[in-house]
Amino acid sequence: MHLPALFTRLLAPLAALALLAGCGPKNPAPNATIKVGNYAAITGKDGTFGDSSTKATRLAVDEINAAGGVLGKQIELVVEDTQSKPGEAATVVKKLITRDQVVALIGEVTSSRSLEGAGVAQAFKIPMLSPSATNPAVTATGDYIFRACFIDPFQGKVLASFAHERLKARRAALLTSISSAYSTGLGDVFRAKFPASGGEIVSDQKFAEGDKDFKAQLTAIKAANPDVLFVPAYYTEAALIAKQARELGITAPLIGGDGWEAPELVQIAGSAIEGCYYSTHYSAESPDPKVQAFVKKYRDRYDGRTPDGMAALGYDAAYILAEAIRRAGSTEPAKIREALAATKSFDGITGRIDMDADRNASKPAAILTIKAGTFTYLETVAP
């Protein structure tokens, strides 16, 4: 076969396809809507985080659009699932920026995957607002990365003093994940703060994300006889750890961070998690009318489910971003970035939010306990 013939038979259809793709619906009507990317783990190990978060973000965006949108345009939310997998965040962020051409990003829900996405967003200079990544390194990635939640140094300090003052614990054991930025970060803060207030770390054990057997570490912890067990893990691991701790006869309470907040924690751990404590971003039981209005709207829309901290942050993140776009008066990523950095006294569901010089939100934390299988509000700690 001659080369030209080969070209027409093999390459021509390909070329035609490429042409078709080129004039496909890439930019159907430019600037008709404001495209915002929303990426989170909606399925997989940390699935409920992304599920709650994206549902609330969707709720907020629909409210904003119903009220006339921003700058006279509707916000179009493009949602991507990172499946709780390492590596997936960078891929979907690249896709959102290059193919969907979003002007800003809301995501990811966890710290490790936010770090992944942040690198890409910073490189493309697209502002990214993580609703719930608490590790300080996330916003340290660059000047385009923001967050709507408090950071781990604050959360860790709150938990360390809660263990010391309220639980009267003097001997603490740590069980942290070595492969999650969230867990190691929170562990480091606790390790520094708890001894500073006069306590003692009697056992310091590690595990890796995806582990299911914690009996070895817990047996060593039991031998050290701690008053409290600090487990800054996500809910799947925290539930398995609680269950195995009780099976081994450890009776000390477990405490953890906002990564615990999911109904699965109680479903998997059952009675093992009873009487344990964790810090989070808000409580649905707060009497604040703003919070109650949000809880009602969320319940009405999503068959009576009570919004958790991730939902509250997802909701706040959407409003913070919309307000920033409004103040920027433009959908140019650089202008949105400036407006985000200038966010001051934003009155959200999760408290008053001020964006500080490091692009972190400074705001209060709530401590909850598990009583009769439900999350019960205990106290609020101001920054």
Partner 1 sequence: MSEFLQQLINGLSLGAIYALLALGYTMVYGVLRFINFAHADVFMVGSFAGYYAARHAPAGTLWGGLAVLAAAMAACAVLGVLIERFAYRPLRHAPKLNVLIAAIGLSLLLEYGVQLLFGATPRNFPQVFPSARLQFGPLTVSSNQLVVIVVSLGLLGGLQWIVFRTRLGAAMRAVSLNPRAAQLVGINLNTVVAFTFALGSALAGAGGVLYAMNYPSIDPFMGVMPGLKAFVAAILGGIGSLPGAALGALILGGAETLVGGSAYSTYKDAIAFGLLIVIMLLRPAGLLGRLTVEKV
Backbone angles phi and psi of 228, in degrees to 5: -150, 150
* CA–CA separation, 343 and 282 (whole Å): 20
Say if CB 39 and CB 94 are below 8 A apart.
no
For 335, the 3-state DSSP assignment is helix
206 counts as binding partner 1 under rule CB under 8 A: yes
Q: Which residues pair with 375 in a beta bridge?
A: 370
78 counts as binding partner 1 under rule CB under 8 A: no
Of residues 154, 177, 164, the one with CA closest to residue 46:
177
Which residue in the set 213, 300, 332, 354 belongs to the binding site for partner 1 (CB under 8 A)?
213
* CA–CA separation, 297 and 332 (whole Å): 31
**Residue 70 has what DSSP assignment?**
B
240 counts as binding partner 1 under rule CB under 8 A: yes
Say how many residues touch partner 1, by CB under 8 A.
34
Which residue in the set 9, 125, 166, 212 belongs to the binding site for partner 1 (CB under 8 A)?
212
Instruction: Tell me the residue type at 121.
Output: A
Pick out residues in 117-156 that bind partner 1 (CB under 8 A).
Answer: none
Q: Which is nearer to partner 1, 11 or 248 (CB)?
A: 248
* CA–CA separation, 364 and 382 (whole Å): 4
Q: Which is nearer to partner 1, 83 or 111 (CB)?
A: 83
Pick out residues in 162-191 that bind partner 1 (CB under 8 A).
Answer: 178
Q: Which residues pair with 104 in a beta bridge?
A: 36
Q: Which is nearer to partner 1, 72 or 249 (CB)?
A: 249
Cα-Cα-Cα-Cα torsion 90, 48, 102, 118, nearest 10 degrees, comes to -40
239 counts as binding partner 1 under rule CB under 8 A: yes
For 96, the 3-state DSSP assignment is helix
Pick out residues in 84-113 that bind partner 1 (CB under 8 A).
Answer: 84
Of residues 360, 361, 366, the one with CA closest to residue 382:
366
Q: Which is nearer to partner 1, 84 or 134 (CB)?
A: 84
Say if CB 207 and CB 217 are below 8 A apart.
yes
Which residue in the set 248, 293, 334, 342 belongs to the binding site for partner 1 (CB under 8 A)?
248
200 counts as binding partner 1 under rule CB under 8 A: no
**Residue 329 has what DSSP assignment?**
T
CB under 8 A: which stretch of 142-150, 264-272, 283-291, 349-357 binds partner 1? 264-272
CB under 8 A: which stretch of 13-21, 233-241, 288-296, 338-346 binds partner 1? 233-241
* CA–CA separation, 108 and 370 (whole Å): 26
Q: How far is the CB of 302 from partner 1 (least distance, A)?
A: 16
11 counts as binding partner 1 under rule CB under 8 A: no
Say if CB 58 and CB 50 are below 8 A apart.
no
CB under 8 A: which stretch of 45-53, 113-121, 137-145, 310-318 binds partner 1? 45-53
44 counts as binding partner 1 under rule CB under 8 A: yes
Pick out residues in 46-75 that bind partner 1 (CB under 8 A).
Answer: 47-48
User: Using H for helix, E for strand and C for coil, what is the string for 346-364?
Assistant: EEECCEEEEECCCCCEECC
Q: Provide the token pair at 164.
A: 């010391």
264 counts as binding partner 1 under rule CB under 8 A: yes
Residue 292 Ramachandran class (φ > 0 left, ψ -120 to 50 alpha, else beta):
alpha
Q: Provide the token pair at 315.
A: 């909701």
CB under 8 A: which stretch of 66-74, 102-110, 187-195, 263-271 binds partner 1? 263-271
Q: How far is the CB of 195 from partner 1 (least distance, A)?
A: 17
* CA–CA separation, 310 and 318 (whole Å): 12
Q: Which is nearer to partner 1, 42 or 361 (CB)?
A: 42
268 counts as binding partner 1 under rule CB under 8 A: yes
Q: How far is the CB of 313 from partner 1 (least distance, A)?
A: 20
CB under 8 A: which stretch of 261-269, 303-311, 318-326, 367-375 binds partner 1? 261-269
373 counts as binding partner 1 under rule CB under 8 A: no
Rg from Cα positions in the chain:
23
Interface with partner 1 (CB under 8 A): 43-45, 47-48, 83-84, 178, 204-208, 210, 212-213, 215-217, 219-220, 222-223, 236, 239-240, 243, 246-249, 264, 267-268
